[in-house]
Amino acid sequence: EVQLVESGGGLVQAGGSLRLSCAASGFTFDDYTFGWFRQAPGKEREGVSYISTRDGNTDYADSVKGRFTISSDNNKNTVYLQMNSLKPEGGAVYSCAAQKGGYGGSWWTLPSLYDGWGQGTQVTVAS
């Protein structure tokens, strides 16, 4: 089974930084797409970023582009999301998801196309 465990969330002031981690187990790490999603109370889940461990491709939501950076460490089977210049509207539960291989186009933004999910980690951004 695919197992994903997020960590690194917490309370941070606007303009501050956090690094989220997604530790993966139960599958081969080097041919997967990993996505980061977030969901705030009363809002739909949205895709934040993704990375392919096969080819290294990445993408970001327009709302975080230039402030967030996704990376992976194949030796540790871990995906990271470095979040800089955090804004109050960035407060949400952040979850990672994994999908074997991938698809064409911008499929990574669709939660239904991922096979495995973590429990999420809370990020709170104070004004």
Distance CA 124, CA 111 (A): 22
pLDDT greater than 80 at residue 1: no
Q: Is the pLDDT of residue 123 over 90?
A: yes
- 70 neighbors 50 (Cβ within 8 angstroms): yes
pLDDT score, position 27: 79
User: Which pLDDT score, from 0 to 100, does residue 119 have?
Assistant: 97
Give the C-alpha distances (Å, rounded to integers) separating 19 from 14, 82, 85, 86, 105.
15, 4, 12, 11, 27
Interval 2-23 mean pLDDT: 97
- Residue 2, pLDDT above cutoff 90: no
For residue 52, give both structure tokens: 């392919």
Instruction: Report the distance separating Cα 52 and Cα 26, nearest Å.
Output: 17
Q: What value does the mean pLDDT of the chain take?
A: 94
For the chain, list the strands marked E by DSSP. Answer: 3-7, 10-13, 18-25, 32-39, 46-52, 58-60, 68-73, 78-83, 92-100, 116-117, 121-126
